[in-house]
Amino acid sequence: METSQKLQILADAAKYDVACTSSGADRSSDGFSMGNAMASGICHSFSGDGRCISLLKVLMSNACAYDCAYCLNRRSNDVPRATFTPRELADLTMNFYRRNYIEGLFLSSGIIKNPDYTCERMIETLKILREEYRFGGYIHAKAIPGADSLLLQRIGYLADRMSVNIELPSQKSLVTLAPDKSKSSILKPMGFIRDSISQNKNELVRYKSTPKFASAGQSTQMIIGATPETDYSILKLSEALYGKYSLKRVFYSAYIPVSENPLLPALTTEPPLLREHRLYQADWLLRFYGFSADEILSEQTPDFNPLLDPKCNWVVNNMHRFPVEINSAPKEELLRVPGIGVKSVFKILQARRSCKLSFESLKKLGVVLKRARFFITCGGEFDPAVSFSPQEAANALISNSDMKKFRQKEQYEQIDFLSQPPALPQREDYFKCLTGQL
Amino acid sequence: MPDRTAVADAADVVYIYDGSFEGLLSCVFESYARKEIPSDIVPEEQYELSLYPTRFIETNHLHFERVKKGVADKIGKDALTAIWKGYLCSWEGKEIAILHFIRMGMRDGRRVIYDLANDYVGRLMKSNTTLWNEAHHYMGFVRFSVYENNAMVSVIEPKHKILPIIKDHFIDRYKNESFLIYDKTHRYALIYSKGRNIIIPADDYSPPQMSGEEQKLHDMWKLFYETIEIKERRNERCRMTMMPKRFWSQLHEMSGNKEANI
């Protein structure tokens, strides 16, 4: 089979893996190698679905021995199969890298024969790249659940980032849909990688020449909407993964129906993109804004508000903490103002060292006031240009795109509480449900 | 030190310089020497006849060095870098903004770069971000073609002069290779080979014909690009935001796309 044909089959089989980031590793050339890695990561292109293409994302092989119901590559599915030889894949990576198409390689694989054999093939590829071609770019490798820990360790020394996919957010769902995997077979390698990374960090302090183990950390991915978990339980899981397993990223992937199965949503189901979007928003709140999962959702309200992003939703429920004074509020409080993000907070903190800030100067700093102006004061005063009608506040909080998504994707039943005939609701109605502490 | 109040508001004169960074700082020197603030400073390329009297400012290396040292000592090295980057970026009224920024800084010292609420400072710092954003885009969007003698060639059309900004990145990445990046907009090129690099003006450059093997690799990349998209999630607008159309003509994977004009 020609390389280009294999590329097509194996890229197609890998496309549902979300992670394509090349961030977290910072390495410059040692003078002999080809390539470097930049901490911020670099996007080299964007595909038609708007996702960043940073790495050559392929499977080593899609001839999988497992039979997970949600997966396109399951044994029982009738699709063309292909397997790269290690040399072939390494050459392709180098050729793409030279043309500045990619930052490096994202290598995952279906299970060829058994987990150990699969790992060995992956290691061989990475060895050709790192040792023979002296490739200094980014490598993201999937840990294969069930593989020997010695093999995982060898991958860790060759790759910048490792990941084990959680796939489904609960043990119960795993049992029903992925009979060959179990919670422990996923968490075991995750714990092993975590321990190796922290051990390696200690060694690095002592001996500078120690080879680095997965220096960009580890990440994971789960599928949203294939199984009945609530947003709250998913978010709690993410929080635990960030805390307990020191993950760098958790990725969420809206389930796109790939097979007819009574256990799965029907083939006609639309991927829950809005839900995925909300999860990413909440994920950011966890990682950069100092929120905890319990502040964002709770047992009583276990699902995201389709109209309000998680931050605005929190604000609506915590009005007593506003307004916030721009010139004196600490960083943590500024971060909680709707419409003000990490970058704006940084600019505000820097600018207020040299002068007192007014609404005019905030605009010049490039702080977007559309949402924020309802919740902040400058020198004790509200923005005189704002009229405080509830209507305007609602307009500011609900973004047009969210409204559109909501109208397109959600079923009418879900907005039944508006006690409306099944006509499309207007902004005023959204406001009613907003003040009703939805 | 000249007091700002001692200077006439804006003199009815337009400075013209040769478009180089040295030339721009020579204008700043001239403005101090003559105790006047010109109403505008324009590079000779862009100069169109105006009603104002003009003064051509000869680029003077000594004047340049003096302003450079003055800025570095008085306002700080960060400010000097910010001015240089502001110069590399293309934006309306950059010369005048830089002049005012330097004058404010010479008067008030280092804290001026934090005064983002000031119009001149704010726009200068914003131009730095704009420049960096485009440079970062091009770290990803530069596309090399490899020729028989192993030389790598890329032609780009950036809005701003980003070659000096992306230089270190690409040299570090392809340390043992030889490459050329030609900036079609500003007509100059970065050439690197065997540990040496040079940025030179080049009026008209077009890369040689590529081999069949090379074309095959371009096609493979295009194939990968098209395969990796999840069709169920197609989102034209998101792609356009992340990768605006002005880049498309330079990207191998977008060749043949109706919108890209190759």
Residues of B in contact with A56 (CB under 8 A): 224
Output the pLDDT for position A423.
41
| DSSP 8-state symbol, A131 | I
Residues of A in contact with B118 (CB under 8 A): 364
H-helix or E-strand spanning residue B125: helix B119-141
Q: Are B98 and B89 in contact (CB under 8 A)?
A: no
**DSSP secondary structure, A264-293, as one string:** S--TTPPP-HHHHHHHHHHHHHHHHS---H
- Comparing CB atoms, the residue among A11, A46, A364 nearest residue B122 is A364
Distances (CA, A) of A143 to A13, A135, A139, A269, A400: 17, 20, 12, 31, 41
Residues of A in contact with B220 (CB under 8 A): 3-4, 7, 92
Structure tokens that stand for B139 in this block: 């770290």
Output the pLDDT for position A174.
85
Task: Tell me the C-alpha distance between B53 and B31, whole Å.
Answer: 15
3-state SS class at A113: coil
Percentage with pLDDT > 90 across chain B:
76
B50 pLDDT above the threshold of 80? no
Out of A26-40, A145-159, A370-384, least confident range: A26-40
Residues of B in contact with A101 (CB under 8 A): 143, 221, 252-253
Out of A169-178, A318-327, A330-339, least confident range: A169-178
Q: Are B56 and B92 in contact (CB under 8 A)?
A: no
Query: Looking at residues B11-39, what average pLDDT do you find?
Result: 93
Q: What are phi and psi of B71, to 5 degrees?
A: -65, -50
pLDDT band at A415 (very low <50, low <70, confident <90, very high): very low
Residues of A in contact with B175 (CB under 8 A): 29, 31, 33-34
Taking CA–CA distances from A37, the nearest residue in chain B reads B173
In 3D space, the residue among A126, A162, A169 whose CA is nearest the CA of residue A144 turns out to be A162
3-state SS class at A179: coil
Tens-digit pLDDT profile for residues A41-56: 899 999 999 999 999 9
Determine whether the interchain pair A99/B252 forms a contact, defined as Cβ–Cβ distance below 8 Å.
yes
Q: Are B36 and B13 in contact (CB under 8 A)?
A: yes
Query: Looking at residues A26-33, what average pLDDT do you find?
Result: 79
The ranges assigned to domains in chain A are 3-217, 310-435
Output the pLDDT for position A270.
84
Determine whether the interchain pair B230/A15 forms a contact, defined as Cβ–Cβ distance below 8 Å.
yes
Percentage with pLDDT > 70 across chain A:
90
Q: Which residues on adjacent β-strands are paired with residue A45?
A: A53
Query: Looking at residues A196-215, what average pLDDT do you find?
Result: 84
B105 pLDDT above the threshold of 70? yes
ipTM for the complex shown = 0.89
- Comparing CB atoms, the residue among A7, A31, A57 nearest residue B223 is A7
A406 pLDDT above the threshold of 80? no
Output the pLDDT for position A25.
80
Out of A23-37, A133-147, B31-45, least confident range: A23-37
pLDDT band at B7 (very low <50, low <70, confident <90, very high): low
Radius of gyration over alpha carbons of chain B, in Å?
Answer: 22
3-state SS class at A149: helix
Q: Which amino acid is at B115?
A: D
The mean pLDDT of chain A is 85
Tens-digit pLDDT profile for residues B240-254: 999 999 999 999 999
Structure tokens that stand for A227 in this block: 């199984």
Q: What are phi and psi of A34, to 5 degrees?
A: -110, 120
Output the pLDDT for position B258.
53
Query: In a mutagenesis test of the A interface, which of B121, B233, B258, B259 is the best target, namely the one with the most A β-carbons within 10 Å?
Result: B233
Tens-digit pLDDT profile for residues A98-129: 999 999 999 999 999 999 999 999 999 999 99
Residues of A in contact with B219 (CB under 8 A): 4
Peptide bond into A323 cis (omega under 30): yes
- What count of other Cβ atoms lies within 10 Å of the Cβ of residue B73? 11
- Comparing CB atoms, the residue among A11, A46, A56 nearest residue B239 is A46
Q: What is the C-alpha end-to-end distance of chain A, expressed in Å?
A: 57
Task: Tell me the C-alpha distance between B101 and B2, whole Å.
Answer: 15
Question: To the nearest whole angstrom, how far is the Cα of A365 from the nearest Cα of chain B?
Answer: 6
Determine whether the interchain pair A96/B221 forms a contact, defined as Cβ–Cβ distance below 8 Å.
yes
The mean pLDDT of chain B is 90
Query: In a mutagenesis test of the B interface, which of A8, A34, A56, A98 is the best target, namely the one with the most B β-carbons within 10 Å?
Result: A98
Taking CA–CA distances from A274, the nearest residue in chain B reads B233
Q: Are A40 and A22 in contact (CB under 8 A)?
A: no
Task: Tell me the C-alpha distance between B55 and A201, whole Å.
Answer: 62
- Comparing CB atoms, the residue among A48, A56, A99 nearest residue B239 is A48
Taking CA–CA distances from B231, the nearest residue in chain A reads A49
Q: Are strands A55-59 and A52-53 parallel, antiparallel or unpaired?
A: unpaired
Determine whether the interchain pair A350/B219 forms a contact, defined as Cβ–Cβ distance below 8 Å.
no
H-helix or E-strand spanning residue A433: helix A427-435
Task: Tell me the C-alpha distance between A283 and A292, whole Å.
Answer: 10
- B230-235: which pairs have CB atoms within 8 A and are 24 or more residues apart? B230/A15, B230/A16, B230/A47, B230/A49, B230/A51, B230/A256, B231/A48, B231/A49, B232/A256, B232/A271, B233/A49, B233/A50, B233/A51, B233/A254, B233/A256, B233/A271, B233/A273, B234/A48, B234/A49, B235/A48, B235/A49, B235/A50
Q: Are A125 and A90 in contact (CB under 8 A)?
A: yes
Task: Tell me the C-alpha distance between A68 and A163, whole Å.
Answer: 19
Size of interface A-B (CB pairs under 8 A): 157
The ranges assigned to domains in chain B are 4-130, 142-210, 212-262
Structure tokens that stand for A145 in this block: 């659940």
In chain A, % helix, strand, coil (3-state, to 5) comes to 45, 10, 45
